[in-house]
Amino acid sequence: MSNKDMTIHLKVWRQKDRKDAGRFEDYTIPNVSKDMSFLEMLDVLNEKLVLDSKEPIAFDHDCREGICGSCSLMINGQAHGPEKATTSCQLHMRSFSDDDTIVVEPWRARAFPVLKDLMTDRSSFDKVIASGGFVSVNTGNAQDANTMTVSKENADLAMDAAACIGCGACVASCPNASAMLFASAKISQMALLPQGKVEAAQRASEMVKTMDEEGFGNCTNHAECEASCPKEINLSNIARMNREFFKSKIFSKKG
């Protein structure tokens, strides 16, 4: 074993389907390189399980570049693990020590039911977006960029909000399983720009309604969502969403 290799002990959540009660299973992996990503380490474990004619561990992944938001793992009680502003696929084994025991679980939220092992159903996020995450105003032909004025401050804030990858770490970390940081990022990226202002209040109202219907909790300002977000989405977006939501209620009363 080289000085870059170590032995890792895993306690992994295994669950056949939604109806299964689930349980933790223990695994030991020798010769783990510190340069491996966390998902590569799980790949090595799965190869070993397959060779031993055992069921591999199911987990979500796609781009492995911190962009897609698929790698939804709770690692030692932290969404995406111990490193700040990092997804599970960007987490490297050098963040751990030789002979460490690592607990790996799926997201824990009523709105994210477990499909199998570490895989959860996050289609509730899609429903939240579909309920209001669009612009339906008729804009005609594309305008010249210089004719639509957007302040640098708003442009920067909109871009920061648009960085949300919809991974669900905010929900998994929140003691209320709230999706307000996610929804507020989707609302803010449109509400801050001219194209999205027309329907901003209606969009907020519909998305908040869908959040409630999908079983997400409310925000009580624990700020765990911001702390665990791999894209560092700011809590100020929730305040903006609340303002747009209150506007929708005022306009509906006037109507």
**What pLDDT sits at residue 224?**
96
- Binned at pLDDT 50, 70 and 90, residue 201 comes out as confident
CB atoms within 10 A of CB 22: 15
Average pLDDT of the chain, as a whole number: 93
**What pLDDT sits at residue 123?**
97
Q: Taking the domains of the chain in order of start, what are their residue ranges?
A: 5-116, 123-254
pLDDT (average), residues 8-35: 97
Question: What phi and psi values does residue 20 have, to the nearest 5 degrees?
Answer: -70, 140
The span from the CA of 254 to the CA of 57, in Å, is 55
Sequence-distant (≥ 6) Cβ neighbours of residue 100 within 8 angstroms: 6, 8, 9
**What pLDDT sits at residue 135?**
77
Q: For domain 5-116, give the CATH number.
A: 3.10.20.30
Tell me, yes or no, if the pTM score tops 0.85. Answer: yes
Return the higher-pLDDT residue of 27 and 139. Answer: 27
Is 137 a residue whose pLDDT tops 70? no
Read off the pLDDT of residues 42-58 as tens digits, 9 standing for 90 and up. 999 999 999 999 999 99
Read off the pLDDT of residues 79-125 as tens digits, 9 standing for 90 and up. 999 999 999 999 999 999 999 999 999 999 999 999 999 999 999 99
Of 115, 101, 77, 105, nearest in space to 13 by CA: 105
**What pLDDT sits at residue 254?**
57
pLDDT (average), residues 223-242: 96
Where helices occur in the chain by DSSP H, the ranges are 38-51, 123-132, 152-162, 169-173, 180-191, 194-197, 200-214, 224-228, 236-254
Is 255 a residue whose pLDDT tops 60? no
Whole-number Cα distances in Å, 1 to 7, 34, 151: 10, 12, 56
**What pLDDT sits at residue 248?**
86
Return the higher-pLDDT residue of 215 and 139. Answer: 215
**What pLDDT sits at residue 253?**
63
Which of the residue ranges 100-109, 170-179, 232-241, 245-254 would you say has the lowest mean pLDDT?
A: 245-254
- Binned at pLDDT 50, 70 and 90, residue 181 comes out as very high
Where helices occur in 12-136 by DSSP H, the ranges are 38-51, 123-132
Is 13 a residue whose pLDDT tops 80? yes
**What pLDDT sits at residue 138?**
65
Of 208, 188, 190, nearest in space to 248 by CA: 208
Indicate the fold that domain 123-254 takes in CATH: Fumarate Reductase Iron-sulfur Protein; Chain B, domain 2 (1.10.1060)
pLDDT (average), residues 180-205: 91
CB atoms within 10 A of CB 18: 11
